[in-house]
């Protein structure tokens, strides 16, 4: 079953098209990752899908309901944690959870159980009696995410839930989410941390300038865009290799105490042989070299950069050695 289905969805603010005719479908029981650079349209999309704002055009179906016709019914079935921090300064951590449960009409026994479960799961027990005003930013974010789990829902939208969390809190949250998905919850979430998307997501969509530029499983994205490997050749001395590397393909050069040549190639063996031959012919000694599969992060950068070029290159990378 499709949990989220959006067709030709657009949202404009004056002459800014924040979301530009996107189609989305999310199957139930899956974790859908929504990635894109700042200002790409992620938060706007979440606000549209959760009925917080109205689209300029297009249709949204959530859990089988037309969101434009039944916004209240939709809201009853979903949860959302917005990117914007939100908390009541004078409430204690445990009261924040408790109150959220009351707002959602959760019965008192279930409420008590869930408060305890969430305080433990989000490592908030020690600060349960502290006021939101008196806890750290990361702790506040944990409370903001935790309280959303006080109520029953079929679909949860999370807009950068892990921002400000330390590595162990982040891993804790991701694993808690995974557990909920095993129990049947569907998740739509945004992040800038690619490892996170890879760890969690069944499917990933990349959005840029309001348009979706790629949708696939993390593995398929790697297959499609990342068949190439990344080759790094390290030279001990600072060398001006620009001239001698003419013709070996597209590469980047950076300098640390020596020189690093980075090359992305689908035919990494041949590219490597070529570079080594050229360096050898010029008596340049190689200190170290490595060949690694391209990471999701590099794929993300490549896909976004290519799409920027299609937008007239107005945000194209200023990498000096790109040919
Ligand atoms: N209320 C608004 N009024 C006018 N323009 C807006 C409004 N909200 C968003 N925008 C614009 O819409 C575009 C998309 O913004 P959005 O917040 O959806 O980006 P995002 O992908 O969530 O970015 P980030 O990664 O920084 O959170 C941006 O150009 C933004 O300036
Ligand atoms: Mg955002």
pLDDT digit string, tens, across residues 302-322:
788 888 877 654 443 333 333
Quote the pTM value: 0.82
pLDDT of res. 312: 53
What fold characterizes domain 2-217? Rossmann fold (3.40.50)
Name which residue leads in pLDDT, 147 or 312: 147
What dihedral do alpha carbons 118, 122, 124, 128 form, nearest 10°? -30
105 with 97: CB under 8 angstroms?
no
What pLDDT band is residue 290 in, cutting at 50, 70 and 90? confident
For residues 39 and 26, the answer to whether their CB atoms sit within 8 Å is no
Mean pLDDT of all residues in 250-261: 84
Place of tokens 């001698």: 244
Mutate to test the pocket of ligand 1, among 11, 36, 39 (most ligand atoms within 8 A of CB): 39
Ligand 1 pocket test, pick from 9, 10, 20, 44 with the greatest ligand atom count within 8 Å of Cβ, gives 44
In the structure encoding, which two tokens stand for residue 107, read together? 């019965």
SS3 236: coil
Asked if 242 contacts 265 with a C-beta cutoff of 8 angstroms, the reply is no
CATH 3.30.70.980 range(s) for the chain read 227-293
Enumerate the β-bridge partners of residue 252: 262
Pocket flag, ligand 1, residue 208 (CB < 6 Å): no
Is the CB of 40 within 6 Å of ligand 1? Answer: yes
Domain with CATH 3.40.50.300 in the chain: 2-217
The predicted structure's pLDDT at residue 263: 81
Kindly report the protein residue whose alpha carbon is nearest to atom 13 of ligand 1. 18
Higher pLDDT, 245 or 146: 146
Task: Report pLDDT for 317.
Answer: 38
- For 227-293, the fitting CATH number among 2.60.130.10, 3.30.1490.190, 3.30.530.20, 3.30.70.980 is 3.30.70.980
pLDDT computed for residue 319 by the predictor: 39
HSE-CB at 268 with a 13 A cutoff on CA atoms is: 17
Q: Is 56 in the pocket of ligand 1 (CB under 6 A)?
A: no
Q: In what order do the strands lie in the sheet with 211-216?
A: 78-81, 155-159, 186-190, 31-35, 203-208, 211-216
The whole-number average pLDDT for the span 125-133 is 97
C-alpha to C-alpha distance for 33 and 146, rounded to whole angstroms: 19
């Amino acid at each position: 079953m499709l949990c989220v289905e959006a067709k030709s969805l657009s949202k404009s603010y004056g002459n800014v098209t924040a979301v530009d005719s996107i189609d989305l479908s999310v199957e139930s029981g899956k974790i859908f990752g929504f990635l894109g650079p700042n200002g790409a349209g992620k938060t706007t999309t979440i606000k549209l899908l959760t009925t917080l704002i109205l689209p300029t055009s297009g249709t949204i179906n959530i859990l089988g309901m037309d969101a434009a016709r039944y916004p209240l019914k939709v809201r009853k079935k979903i949860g959302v944690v917005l990117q914007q921090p939100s908390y009541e300064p004078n409430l204690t951590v445990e009261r924040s959870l408790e109150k959220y449960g009351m707002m959602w009409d959760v019965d008192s026994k279930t409420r008590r159980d869930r408060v305890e479960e969430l305080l433990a799961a989000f490592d908030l027990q020690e600060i349960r009696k502290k006021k939101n005003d008196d806890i750290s930013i990361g702790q506040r974010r944990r409370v903001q995410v935790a309280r959303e789990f006080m109520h029953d829902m079929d679909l949860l939208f999370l807009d950068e839930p892990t921002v400000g969390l330390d590595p162990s809190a982040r891993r804790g949250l991701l694993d808690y989410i995974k557990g909920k998905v095993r129990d049947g919850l569907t998740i739509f979430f945004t992040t800038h941390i690619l490892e996170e998307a890879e760890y969690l997501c069944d499917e990933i969509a990349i959005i840029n300038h309001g348009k979706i530029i790629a949708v696939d499983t993390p593995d398929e994205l790697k297959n499609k865009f990342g068949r190439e490997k990344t080759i790094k050749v390290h030279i001990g001395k600072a060398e001006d290799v620009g001239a001698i590397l003419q013709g070996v393909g597209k590469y980047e050069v950076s300098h640390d105490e020596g020189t690093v040549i980075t090359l992305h190639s689908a035919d990494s063996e041949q590219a490597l042989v070529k570079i080594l031959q050229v360096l050898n012919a010029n008596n340049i000694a190689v200190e170290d070299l490595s060949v690694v599969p391209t990471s999701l992060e590099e794929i993300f950068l490549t896909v976004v950069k290519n799409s920027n070029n299609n937008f007239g290159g107005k945000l194209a990378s200023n990498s000096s050695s790109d040919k």
